[in-house]
């Protein structure tokens, strides 16, 4: 690790790699949180893999592969979003098809492009150590775009992620914001591809946010924590891979997976321990000293029980009349459920 810090001071490519990791973490935390809470990891995977088509076409045409990746990611996001919004019955099949078609197009183009093989590996698995310094500006501008769009439309994106039907009822254009969210996912995928490649990108997009989700109760806090976790994981991954000369992308992903596993087990264990302690505390209470039962609302005070209302039910107009069929009078004969058809 000491070697890494010494090299970091001297080697500009390591500094660029570290900065690239930190810039990628912003996208990871912001958009990864939406991907996790909206449960669209499969859609994001489809977008990520379709990117190869754009990269391959750009390489073949002699254009910047990142520009091709961005264009392909946005087109794939729109197609996948349209499939999800229009043909929801066959959603997974069609998204799987878009996923495979994008990769097939990319491989065909790359095959026909001279000197493809080394490039193909770096696109599939990423190489943070080869990120050109000028690409940092491209990554930073994508981060700014994400921050501005989320800042402007956070409420709408939250509403669409949380409860689409309610969002629609509040006059939100749900399809438009859903497509906007997928376009943001596409931008983030391009941001992350240089770090871990398109095969592993979905893990970096989801795992830090999923770990953050174990500890916070709001989407905003989840984003902040996921950005910090992403920054930690990419930096530690870079440092860990340096000494033994391991590929950085897979190292980062394995670290993220380990963090998720440890966090999931720890939260599960803590929840079970809390439950056991609660039961033990109840068992230790002397008999007859248990507190008054809380009302069914669970907070000790309801709307306020209305005995008068309950009493009035028995003689309320319409209630008796509604009781057709078998009847057996009893002490609670006026209770509301008595009229429920069985």
Partner 1 sequence: MASDVIQLTGVSFSYGAEPALREVDLAVADREFLGIVGPNAGGKSTLLRLILGLLEPQSGRVEVLGRSPRAARTDIGYVPQYPGFARDFPITVEQVVLLGRLGLGNRFGGYGREDRQAMQRVLEEVDAHDLRARQIGSLSGGQLQRVLLARALVCDPRILILDEPTASLDLRLEADIFERLKEFNERMTILLVSHDVAFISTYVSRVACVNQTLVCHPTAAIDGSTILALYGESVRRVAHEH
Interacting residues with partner 1 (CB under 8 A): 37, 39, 151-156, 158-159, 161-172, 213, 216-219, 221-222, 295-299, 301-306, 309-310, 312-313, 316-319, 321-333, 335-342
Smallest gap from residue 310 Cβ to partner 1 (A): 6
Smallest gap from residue 113 Cβ to partner 1 (A): 44
The vertex-271 CA angle with 40 and 202, nearest 5°, equals 20
Q: Which of 135, 214 has the CB closer to partner 1? A: 214
Angle, helices 219-242/2-10, rounded to nearest 10 degrees: 90
Smallest gap from residue 281 Cβ to partner 1 (A): 19
Q: Which of 286, 330 has the CB closer to partner 1? A: 330
Q: Which of 62, 315 has the CB closer to partner 1? A: 315
**Spatial distance between the Cα atoms of 144 and 142, rounded to a whole number of angstroms:** 5
Alpha helices in 87-132 (DSSP H): 91-111, 116-125
Q: Which of 37, 130 has the CB closer to partner 1? A: 37
**Spatial distance between the Cα atoms of 22 and 254, rounded to a whole number of angstroms:** 18
Angle, helices 12-38/2-10, rounded to nearest 10 degrees: 110
Q: Residue 247: which region, alpha, beta or left (left: phi > 0; alpha: psi -120 to 50)?
A: beta
Smallest gap from residue 308 Cβ to partner 1 (A): 9
Smallest gap from residue 283 Cβ to partner 1 (A): 23
User: CB neighbours (10 Å) of residue 150?
Assistant: 19
Smallest gap from residue 303 Cβ to partner 1 (A): 4
Q: Which of 244, 318 has the CB closer to partner 1? A: 318
Smallest gap from residue 161 Cβ to partner 1 (A): 8
Residues near 312 by Cβ (< 8 Å), separated by ≥ 6?
Answer: none
Closest Cα to residue 176, out of 151, 159, 188? 159
Q: Are 231 and 37 in contact (CB under 8 A)?
A: no
**Spatial distance between the Cα atoms of 262 and 38, rounded to a whole number of angstroms:** 23
Smallest gap from residue 233 Cβ to partner 1 (A): 20
Q: Which of 121, 311 has the CB closer to partner 1? A: 311
Q: Which of 136, 319 has the CB closer to partner 1? A: 319
Instruction: Give the HSE-up count for residue 264: Cα atoms under 13 Å, Cβ half-sphere.
Output: 10
Q: What Cα–Cα distance (Å) separates residue 146 from each residue in 27, 29, 30, 184?
A: 7, 11, 8, 7
Element (H or E) spanning 43, and its range?
Answer: helix 41-60
Angle, helices 174-213/41-60, rounded to nearest 10 degrees: 110
Q: Which of 36, 124 has the CB closer to partner 1? A: 36
Q: Which of 170, 273 has the CB closer to partner 1? A: 170
Smallest gap from residue 87 Cβ to partner 1 (A): 17
The vertex-307 CA angle with 302 and 312, nearest 5°, equals 130
């Amino acid at each position: 690790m000491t070697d890494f810090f010494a090299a970091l001071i001297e080697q500009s490519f390591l500094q660029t790699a570290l900065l690239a990791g930190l810039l990628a973490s912003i996208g990871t935390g912001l958009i990864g949180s939406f991907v996790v809470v909206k449960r669209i990891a499969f859609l994001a995977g489809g977008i990520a893999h379709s990117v190869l088509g754009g990269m391959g076409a750009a390489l073949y045409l002699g254009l910047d592969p990142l520009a091709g990746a961005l264009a392909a990611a946005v087109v794939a996001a729109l197609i996948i979003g349209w499939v999800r919004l229009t043909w929801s019955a066959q959603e997974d099949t069609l998204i799987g098809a878009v996923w495979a078609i994008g990769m097939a197009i990319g491989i065909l183009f790359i095959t026909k492009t001279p000197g493809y093989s080394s490039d193909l590996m770096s696109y599939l698995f990423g190489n943070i150590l080869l990120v050109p310094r000028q690409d940092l500006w491209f990554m930073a501008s994508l981060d700014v775009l994400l921050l501005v769009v989320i800042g402007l439309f956070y409420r709408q994106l939250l509403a669409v992620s949380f409860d689409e039907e309610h969002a629609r009822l509040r006059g939100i254009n749900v399809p438009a914001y859903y497509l906007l969210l997928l376009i943001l996912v596409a931008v983030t995928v391009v941001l992350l591809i240089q770090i871990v490649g398109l095969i592993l990108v979905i893990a970096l997009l989801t795992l830090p946010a999923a770990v953050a989700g174990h500890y916070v109760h709001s989407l905003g806090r989840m984003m902040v924590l996921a950005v910090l976790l992403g920054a930690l994981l990419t930096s530690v991954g870079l440092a860990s891979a340096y000494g033994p000369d391991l590929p950085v992308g897979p190292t980062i992903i394995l670290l993220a997976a380990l963090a998720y596993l440890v966090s999931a087990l720890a939260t599960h264990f803590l929840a079970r321990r809390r439950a056991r302690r609660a039961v033990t505390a109840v068992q230790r209470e002397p008999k007859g000293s248990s507190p008054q039962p809380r009302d069914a609302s669970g907070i000790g005070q309801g709307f306020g029980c209305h005995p008068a209302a309950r009493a009035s039910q028995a003689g309320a107009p319409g209630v008796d009349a509604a009781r057709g069929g078998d009847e057996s009078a009893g002490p609670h004969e006026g209770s509301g459920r008595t009229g429920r058809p069985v």
